[in-house]
Amino acid sequence: MNTRFLFVISLLIAMFAVWFYRNQGDLDSVINMSTTNIEYEAADILAVQTNEDGIAEYSLTADNLTHYSDQNFDKLVAMKLNWRPNNTQNVTVNADEAVMYHEQSKVVMTNNVLFSSQANDNGQVSKPPLKLVASELIGDLEQKKVFSNKPIKVT
């Protein structure tokens, strides 16, 4: 091959490279790869707690659970709790979102919270049915109390 021909080809390639370099536009913004405080996530949660006799005391379902390690709390989305404090009473708690703070033993349920007691399987109720509707309910796990700092509708 002729060296003049190779020189012309290399000059054309260099011109195209310069043209592409100038017309490529701005580079995309740099992606910031920072660490997250989420330790783990899980979907379609189903948890059951039984007593010594193997009878279910409560069952908990949620669409999503996220554990945040820096502040040691869990966040549940679309939580539904079915609790049987005794053989004659059944309590259900539904909330769009619930956050459990492990260090304080506290559960904060927010957004469309419904707390209701229902009749048992044979239709009897040891206490009158109760239905609470709130935007926020706070459960203290140590004192076993539920309270709210916001208005509650009782039916």
Specify the pLDDT at position 108.
93
Look up the CATH number of the domain holding residue 143.
2.60.450.10
Dump pLDDT digits (tens) for 81-95.
898 877 777 889 999
Dump pLDDT digits (tens) for 54-105.
888 889 999 999 999 888 899 999 999 898 877 777 889 999 999 999 888 8
Dump pLDDT digits (tens) for 130-139.
888 999 999 8
In a domain, 124, yes or no: yes
In a domain, 107, yes or no: yes
In a domain, 105, yes or no: yes
In a domain, 87, yes or no: yes
* Residue 126, pLDDT above cutoff 80: no
Dump pLDDT digits (tens) for 14-31.
998 888 888 776 655 666
Can you tell me which residue has the tokens 């669409």? 63
In a domain, 148, yes or no: yes
Provide the domain count of the chain: 1
Q: How far apart are CA 149 and CA 56, in angstroms?
A: 31
- Give the chain as a 3 state SS string: CCHHHHHHHHHHHHHHHHHHHHHCCCCCCCCCCCCCCEEEEEEEEEEEEECCCCCEEEEEEEEEEEEECCCCEEEEEEEEEEEEEECCEEEEEEEEEEEEECCCCEEEEEEEEEEEEECCCCCCCCCCCCEEEEEEEEEECCCCEEECCCCEEEC
Specify the pLDDT at position 35.
72
In a domain, 127, yes or no: yes
- Which domain range does residue 139 map to? 38-154
Specify the pLDDT at position 79.
93
In a domain, 140, yes or no: yes
In a domain, 21, yes or no: no
